[in-house]
Chain A
Amino acid sequence: MRCRKIQELLKTDYLDGEVSQKQEQEIKEHLARCPKCRQLEEELQSQRRLFQKAKQQKVPERVWHNIRDAIITEGLNEEESLSAGVFERLRKYLFAPKPAFVLATTLAVAIFFAFLAGVFIQKKQSLSKENIPETDIAVYSLSSASDVSLYELGTDIEEYFL
């Protein structure tokens, strides 16, 4: 193997013990006769020792306490929102605008008003045509009895109230 290939393996598989036995043997033989590659291997090993001596940091106790407290608080908030939310959800469910209900309500209102209008018109007609005789109109005339034309009383609704 050439130096370039050896150096590549030194920085990866060789250093990390991922080379085959045969490759390892070849690399060792190369290192024995190549000072440049040997120096690189020493530097890499020294770098590795520095990492291996790294002190494992101890996790502070408060980290677990914070996590536990956060979970408990979340649980309490969830329960609270669940109980408070029952009525809110029920209200929303009942009063939520649903297409079928909206249509039915609109139709019912329309029918109701149509019915009212029908009753009103009927009442008006019975008052204006049947109960009041034609001759009585003269009573409301502001002109003299000899006047040919009768005084106009205005619209139908005005007539109704008079």
Chain B
Amino acid sequence: MNDITPDILKSTSQGDLGAFEQVYKAFSNFVYNVAFRVNRNSADAEEVTQDVFMKVYHNLKGFQFHSAFKTWLYRITVNTAINYYRKSRKEGKDRVDYDSVVDSLAAERSTVEEVIQGDNETRLQELLKILSPKYKACLVLREIEGLSYQEIAASLKIPINTVRSRLKRARQALLGKGKKEK
């Protein structure tokens, strides 16, 4: 993931749509994938991504560069994704979970590799379903996005020891659940 130069951020804060597109291109994959893993469906992930980038566009003027832009964006992403997850759970939105889509698509896959990939996705989604959003976010940032403890702590505004304990509890909860059934 590329870090964006302060010039691009400054241009974006002045309303330069071209500069903002560069910011979007650099970070949209991260935002979308975190949102997708936390919410477990593409429709919510799209909404979260749009929401996050609109927040970035509107609030960049107030960004003081006291922290890295990346950390700031991570925090907005995780908070927005978790809020969406809670909101849709509260509203009882009847969205189709990704795992059921994966199942239905599996039959249409032709190559062995695609079937295996689909199988992995199903298992992964099953695992993530077990966790509450804050544990899920922590694990996704570490395991899928590869953030360090320090980066996770800064993104979630929590102490490193809390990151450590969340990861430990999340992994503990998933032990034995991800095994392939024979």
Given A47-B171, A50-B123, A50-B178, verify A57-B149 contact (CB < 8 Å): no
CB distance from B155 to the nearest CB of A (A): 15
Which residues on the A side are within 8 Å of B124 (C-beta)? 50-51, 54
CB distance from A6 to the nearest CB of B (A): 13
Interface secondary structure of B, over-half rule: helix
Confirm or deny: B144 has a beta carbon within 8 angstroms of a beta carbon on chain A: yes
Interface residues in A, total, Cβ within 8 A: 34
Convert B103-147 into 0s and 1s, putting 1 for each residue whose CB lies closer than 8 angstroms to a CB of A: 000000000000001001101100100000000000100111000
Which residues on the B side are within 8 Å of A50 (C-beta)? 120, 123-124, 127, 178
User: How far does the alpha carbon of A71 sit from the alpha carbon of B50 in the complex, in Å?
Assistant: 11
Determine whether the beta carbon of B167 is less than 8 Å from that of A11.
yes
Binding site for B on A (CB under 8 A): 8, 11-13, 15-16, 18, 40, 43-44, 46-48, 50-60, 62-64, 66-68, 70-72, 75
Known pairs A56-B33, A58-B29, A63-B46; list 20 more (Cβ under 8 Å).
A11-B167, A11-B168, A11-B172, A12-B164, A13-B164, A18-B149, A43-B175, A44-B175, A47-B178, A51-B143, A52-B144, A54-B121, A54-B124, A55-B121, A57-B42, A57-B45, A60-B46, A66-B50, A67-B57, A75-B15
